[in-house]
């Protein structure tokens, strides 16, 4: 089965073709980062308009790359939410109308399920069950994953997401949007131990997170030191160390609580090299293994949506899609409105 995946939940138009037999056939992405950078964050109306401009040329490019035609697609998967309403509407309306015209099923995918399953696109994917850390701009969640659609929330952020904390810290340090990679780059030049920031909820005894206090601690540090290139780098490093230590400790606690040895990490913050290093070391010490999507699939992309859609479709019957007739239909079954 060949599935076209469409992702338009935020500021990336991601398109991909996934074949359940042959794997990922092609994928393409247009990032709006440059366009929004001028405003210091995503402007929803601009995002929707840009998705409209990019989506069909990207679908054509992906089909060309894969050497396929529209007629060879068996289903279309699109991000139905969560995300920006206007942006989601672009992907949804293109997917639904294309599927209707082609007479094939369209399936709405949960954006986070896409992130969660993205590591399964790689070679040697982890078998179920595993613990998943979802760390993006909007979410910081630990889940127990027993199979497709079998997700149990173990812990969540009580306020800011980890990626959001990176973005806000970047702003406080005068770095451009999106802040995560910028803070990580600056942190490399920070002196180890020059400054220690709090480790929020490290010893809370549960698997929840809180990052808004850390952002306030960054603000206090920015206001109380003379800002130069070195002090900014020291703050970036201290901030990153704090987030990484908390995320690592909670991942280990989640693995131990579930009695599991496999962790998958997904979402934009999963691209952070310092986090990968820390999780890798801790996993190694405890006989566990960590799985990631390739770097370009840590952030939003069409491949994870095509894949999640394909997994969902494989478990469904043909009559779940399109319309059916009811040759035998008792009037009394109708019920009142
Ligand atoms: O998954 P994603 O592309 O979009 C959401 O669904 O939110 O994640 C974007 C988030 C942003 O907050 C960005 O600053 C963060 O991921 N991010 C990083 C890195 N690369 C992206 N955070 C820390 N280190 C990175 N290398
Ligand atoms: Zn995302």
Span 256-303, pLDDT tens digits: 999 999 999 999 999 999 999 999 999 999 999 999 999 999 999 999
> Is the domain of 185 the same as that of 214?
yes
* Same domain for 244 and 110: no
Q: Which residue has the tokens 């009394």?
A: 332
Phi, psi at 231, each rounded to 5°: -70, -35
Q: Are residues 87 and 136 in the same domain?
A: no
Q: What is the tens place of the pLDDT at every residue in 46-60?
A: 999 999 999 999 999
Residues 182-211 have a mean pLDDT of 96
What pLDDT, on a 0 to 100 scale, did the predictor assign at position 335? Answer: 77
Tell me the pLDDT band of 315, cut-offs 50, 70 and 90: confident
Task: Pick the more confident residue, 262 or 319.
Answer: 262
Residue 302 counted as domain residue: yes
CATH number at 279 reads 3.30.420.40
Q: Per the domain annotation, does 24 fall within a domain?
A: yes
Separation in Å, CA 149 to CA 311, 312, 319? 10, 8, 20
The pLDDT, as a whole number, for residue 326 is 81
Rounded CA gap, 132 and 257, in Å? 13
- Would residue 121 count as lying in a domain? no
pLDDT tens digits for range 131-165: 999 999 999 999 999 999 999 999 999 999 999 99
User: 97 with 7, same domain?
Assistant: yes
Host domain of residue 311: 2-116+297-333
Q: Which two tokens stand for residue 66?
A: 């894969």
Q: Contact at 8 Å (CB) between 108 and 92?
A: yes
Residue 80 has pLDDT above 80, yes or no: yes
Give the whole-angstrom CA distance, residue 178 versus residue 169.
11
Residues 143 and 275 in one domain: yes
209 and 66 in a common domain: no
If 0-12 CB within 10 Å is exposed, 13-18 middle and 19+ buried, where does residue 16 land?
buried
User: Structurally, how many domains does the chain consist of?
Assistant: 2
Asked if residue 132 and residue 41 are part of one domain, the reply reads: no
Query: Phi-psi region for residue 23, left (φ > 0), alpha (ψ -120 to 50) or beta?
Result: left
208 within domain boundaries? yes
Q: Name every residue whose Cβ is closer than 8 Å to that of residue 234 and which is 6 or more positions away in sequence.
A: 190, 191, 194, 195
Same domain membership, residue 135 and residue 28 = no
Residue of 113, 180, 237, 247 best suited for mutating to test ligand 1, as the one with most atoms within 8 Å of CB: 180
Give the per-residue pLDDT at 121. 97
Q: Are 158 and 24 within one domain?
A: no
Q: Which two tokens stand for residue 225?
A: 């030191």
Q: Is 122 within a domain? A: no
- Together in a domain, 19 and 53: yes
Ligand nearest to the CA of 42: 1
The pLDDT of residue 262: 98
> What's phi and psi for 145, nearest 5 deg?
-110, 115
Give the tokens for residue 262: 């496999």
224 inside domain? yes
Identify which ligand lies nearest to the alpha carbon of 12: 1
Residues with CB under 6 A from ligand 1: 10, 136-138, 163, 166-167, 178-181, 184, 267-269, 271-272, 299-300
| Local structure of 267: helix, strand or coil | coil
Q: Is residue 83 part of a domain?
A: yes
Whether residue 233 is found in the same domain as residue 257: yes
Residues 218 and 326 in one domain: no
How much of the chain is in helix, strand and coil states, percent to nearest 5? 50, 20, 30
Structure tokens at 56: 């069909």
Identify the band that residue 36 occupies on the pLDDT scale cut at 50, 70 and 90.
very high
């Amino acid at each position: 089965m060949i599935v076209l995946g469409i992702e338009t939940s935020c500021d990336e138009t991601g398109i991909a073709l996934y074949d359940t037999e042959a794997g990922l056939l092609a994928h393409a992405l247009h990032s709006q980062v440059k366009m929004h950078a001028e405003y210091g964050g995503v402007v929803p109306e601009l995002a929707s308009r840009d998705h409209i401009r990019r989506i069909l040329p990207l679908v054509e490019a992906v089909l060309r790359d894969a050497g396929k035609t529209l007629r060879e697609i068996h289903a279309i998967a699109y991000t139905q939410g969560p995300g920006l309403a206007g942006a989601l509407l672009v992907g949804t309306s293109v997917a639904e109308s294309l599927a209707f015209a082609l007479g094939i099923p369209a399936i709405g995918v949960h954006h986070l399920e896409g992130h969660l399953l993205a590591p399964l696109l790689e070679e040697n994917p982890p078998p179920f069950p595993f613990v998943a850390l979802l760390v993006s701009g909007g979410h910081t969640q630990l889940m127990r994953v027993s199979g497709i659609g079998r997700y149990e929330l173990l812990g969540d952020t009580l306020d800011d997401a980890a990626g959001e904390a990176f973005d806000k810290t970047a702003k406080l340090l005068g770095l451009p949007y999106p802040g995560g990679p910028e803070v990580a780059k600056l942190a490399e030049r920070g002196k180890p131990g020059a400054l220690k920031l709090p480790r929020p909820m490290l010893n809370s005894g549960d698997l929840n997170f809180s990052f808004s206090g850390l952002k306030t601690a960054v603000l206090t540090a920015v206001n109380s030191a003379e800002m130069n290139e070195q002090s900014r780098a020291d703050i970036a490093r201290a901030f990153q160390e704090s987030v990484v230590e908390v995320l690592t400790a909670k991942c280990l606690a989640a693995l131990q609580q579930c009695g599991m040895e496999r962790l998958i990490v997904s979402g934009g913050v999963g691209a952070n090299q310092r986090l990968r290093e820390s999780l890798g070391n801790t996993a190694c010490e405890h006989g566990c293994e960590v799985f990631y999507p390739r770097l370009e699939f840590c952030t939003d992309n069409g491949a994870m949506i095509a894949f999640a859609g394909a997994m969902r479709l494989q478990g469904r019957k043909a009559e779940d899609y399109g319309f059916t007739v009811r040759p035998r239909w008792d009037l009394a079954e109708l019920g009142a409105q």
